[in-house]
Structure 1
Amino acid sequence: MVKIDNLVLPDFPLLLAPMEDVSDPPFRAVCKDNGADLMYTEFISSEALIRDAIKSRKKLDIFDYERPIGIQIFGGDEDSLAMASRIVDVTNPDLLDINFGCPVKKVACKGAGAGVLKDIDLMVRLTAACVKATKLPVTVKTRLGWDDATKNIEEVAERLQDVGIKALSIHGRTRCQMYKGEADWTLIGKVKNNPRIHIPIFGNGDIESPQKALEYKNRYGVDGIMIGRAAIGYPWIFREIKHYVQTGEVMAPPTLEERVAVCKKHLRKSLEWKGPKVGIFEMRRHYANYLKGLPNIKEYRNRLVILNTLEEIESVLDEVLAAYQGFEAPHIPIELINYHEKCPV
């Protein structure tokens, strides 16, 4: 088993990464159903949280069936992060996570997210402020460094552990890479195998198959894996990895009936949490992924993204079930899509 302070996770846990505009309660619900061991909210601006911004406050919504779950915050000011940490305390998640990894310009270039990688002393002070302000276990998600010349993750890991973090998730790219190229797990492995490090180290970046998950587990010795883009439209990635790690066998892909059932659940949860208008609008981005690989599916997909009621959408999904009855979907390679329009690949 893996322990984050007093929180006990199963051996080699699979974590759902915090993704802006993706990791909301509806999406988390279907990932939890399919084996995610620990999940995080979308990241929340400490400044917006303090100002009582409605959108940021709503991101604090967590539900008992999601546990264990962490709330992730970001910011570049010690006092603001400390105050935001105390606000998060009231919602009683299992963890408080600090984002030092978001590469988007509007965050990083304002001295938050991955922007803090330019100033390790500041990163340490910000982290210490959160640790002192909350009773929750504090974890951090970050990247290898700002650019190829400043891959300082080994120093970062030691210093953040020294000020009290209980786990560290590392994305195997620098900020300047954004999501380009291949994630480099070499330094993640070095951090994990550093004899000074005694907290759990979770690796993140480019895990899009059970085979790769097991390969990286064995090669780098990480305590668990954090999965982000590969889960978008394919929450089954968690159960498939678990099955492969335990048995060495590739699990059959989800049936069409499973795909439609999960899509419907995601849709209903979206309406419950966001309301009918926003819930239906924001769900439109997910249909292509849920129905990927079905031949000549474009006609149905085009209809799904213009409909405005739950009944109409579910009727079209039922049509898909009927039209493709008996179709056995093959394993389709998961495409690591650029989920954030402001994060150009």
Structure 2
Amino acid sequence: MNIPNYGRVGRGGKVGVPSESYRYEFDPADRPLILQVLGNKPEPVISLATSPFLEGHIDGVDLNCGCPQQFAMDKRVGAGILRDPELLIDLARQCACSIPYPLSVKMRLHEEGPQTTARIAEKLHTHSGVKAVTVHGRYWWQKGVNRGQCDWKAIETVRKLTPASLFVIGNGDVASYADFERYRVESGVDSVMAGYGALLDPTIFQENSINLDQVISDYFEIAVRHKNSFMHILRHVHWMIKSRPYQDSSAVHARLFSYKTLEQIQTLLRDELDIHVRLPCVPQGESRIIYPKGASDIVDPKKLKLYLAKEAKLERKKKKKKLHSNRLPNCEQPEPLDWLDEWMTPIEKPND
């Protein structure tokens, strides 16, 4: 569960009212459910992880130290925080002792190699109380056209150099159901994660393959039932057809993202890719999926009046809502990290 921009974070790390653009459904079938967060300050992470709306619905918190995008490197979050191990371990320690859930960390390979990656993982476990680490076998610069292959030998090295009590998960280049067991056995990790491969093929987690026509049809049903935004539908369809060979793919992509209805997507898939999907039953009067609904999308006067009254009530609640304190809950403060100089050479920090 990755909830971008859910809390409006103000000065001092205070989390304000939730953004109305993000509303979430919780289903018992999704458990265990892990909340993934991105940041380099403990206060927003702790405030979000201890929010009442998550209580009873999540089973753990994962700190994302793997995002390789340039904004993450510049702001020293995601893979960028690996350049400052002391900051990362201090952050993890404060979060782990302040939230009621086990803390895990997803990280890329440190730019100095798998040995340094293993040392950071070990200290996250022994000093900060992190229960598990996921190691993506790529460096931060391996992205886009420079993505390259995942280094599972490096992941194996991290597993060998870390304590057996630390749960290590391998990640990268999992493209089929058989890859899960193969990579787990070859690298010695405790488990294997799939990300990119699951976007291309959502059925990767089951042994029996399903025809793409059926997969997209089923996804349309789910998307309508849970009121997914139309842009999210376009993005998922785009991922699922990436591995399908067809001519002039750029033109197809451009047409896809210009569409406004499921019928247009259905026609494109049929005519260009020979993918035949069925459309879900959309309630009468809805020509397209819009979420969340705005006043301009409601034509019934009675429904519009109810909608505006509800929005006004929510706005009044926002003004009265007391912001979370930026003080950390009482917990043992981290000890000075004197051990860093003993095992790692200084790392050049990015310019602010």
TM-score by length of 2: 0.64
Structure 1 portions without partners, runs of 5+: 1-39, 244-250, 274-278, 326-345
The answer as to 2:189 corresponding to 1:222 is: yes
Once the 2 structures are TM-superposed, how far is the Cα of residue 96 of structure 1 from its aligned partner?
Answer: 0.6
Q: CA deviation at 1:45?
A: 8.2
Matched residue type, 2:218: V
Counterpart Cα distance in 1 of 2:122 and 2:94: 17
Which residue does 2:233 correspond to in 1?
Answer: 283
Alignment partner of 1:126 out of 70, 91, 94? 91
Distance 1:223 1:118, change over 3 A: same
Query: Could you tell me which of 93, 100, 105 is aligned with 1:140?
Result: 105
Q: CA deviation at 1:78?
A: 3.1
Shift of 1:143: 1.2
What amino acid maps onto 1:261 in structure 2? S
1:263 aligns with: 219
Counterpart residue number, 1:329: none
SS at match of 1:237: coil
Name 2:176's counterpart in structure 1.
209
> Aligned pairs, how many?
267
Q: Distance in 2 between matches of 1:67 and 1:137?
A: 15
| Residues 112-121 or 82-91, more deviating | 82-91
Identity percentage of aligned residues = 24
Distance 1:296 1:223, change over 3 A: same
Contact residue 45 and residue 75 of structure 1 kept, 8 A: no
Please report how far the alpha carbon of residue 305 of structure 1 lies from its aligned counterpart in structure 2 after TM superposition: 4.5
Q: Which structure 2 residues correspond to residues 28-107 of structure 1 after superposition, within 5 A?
A: 40-42=1-3, 48=9, 50-52=14-16, 54-55=18-19, 58=22, 62-87=26-51, 90-91=54-55, 92-107=57-72
User: How much does 1:139 deviate?
Assistant: 0.8
Partner SS for 1:267: helix
The 5 A counterparts of 1:236-251 are 236-239=203-206, 243=207, 251=208
For 2:52 and 2:143, locate their aligned partners in 1 and report how far apart those are by CA, in whole Å: 28
Which whole-Å deviations, capped at 9, do the CAs of 1:220-278 have from their partners, x for residues lacking one? 11111111111114101111xxx3xxxxxxx4x322542342232343256x14xxxxx
- Give the root-mean-square deviation of aligned CA atoms: 3.6
- Of 254, 268, 284, which aligns to 2:210? 254
Correspondence for 1:200 among 167, 189, 201: 167
Counterpart CA distance in 2 for 1:211 and 1:268 is 32
Q: Give distance in 2, aligned partners of 1:233 and 1:122.
A: 35
Q: Residue 47 of structure 1 contacts residue 75 of structure 1 at CA under 8 Å; is this kept in 2? A: no
Q: Distance in 2 between matches of 1:261 and 1:315?
A: 10
CA distance in 2, matches of 1:119, 1:59: 34
Alignment partner, residue 184 of structure 1? 151
Measured at CA, do residues 140 and 46 of structure 1 come closer, stay the same or move farther in structure 2, by a change above 3 Å? Answer: farther
Please name the residue that 1:13 is paired with.
none
**Inter-CA distance 205–96: structure 2 relative to 1 (3 Å threshold):** same
In the alignment, the residues of structure 1 paired with residue 5 and residue 152 of structure 2 have an alpha-carbon distance, to the nearest angstrom, of 27
What are the superposed Cα offsets for residues 277-298 of structure 1, whole Å, 9 maximum, x if unpaired? Answer: xx12332223344455377898
Q: What is the TM-score of this pair, normalised by structure 1?
A: 0.65
Query: Any idea what SS the aligned residue of 1:133 has?
Result: coil
| Matched residue SS, 2:197 | helix
Q: Distance in 1 between matches of 2:214 and 2:169?
A: 29
Cα displacement string for residues 98-152 of structure 1 (whole angstroms, at most 9, x for unaligned residues): 111111121221121111111211111100111111111111101111x246851
SS at match of 1:76: coil
2-side partners of 1:58 and 1:156: how far apart?
A: 34
2: CA distance between counterparts of 1:106 and 1:59? 25
Match of 2:74 among 89, 109, 123: 109
How far the C-alpha of 1:70 sits from its partner, in A, is 0.6
Q: Which has more radius of gyration?
A: 2
- Aligned equivalents of 1:232 and 1:223: distance in 2? 23
Q: Is the 8 A contact 1:204 1:226 kept in 2?
A: yes
Cα deviation code 1:82-103 (max 9, x no counterpart)? 3333337844411111111111
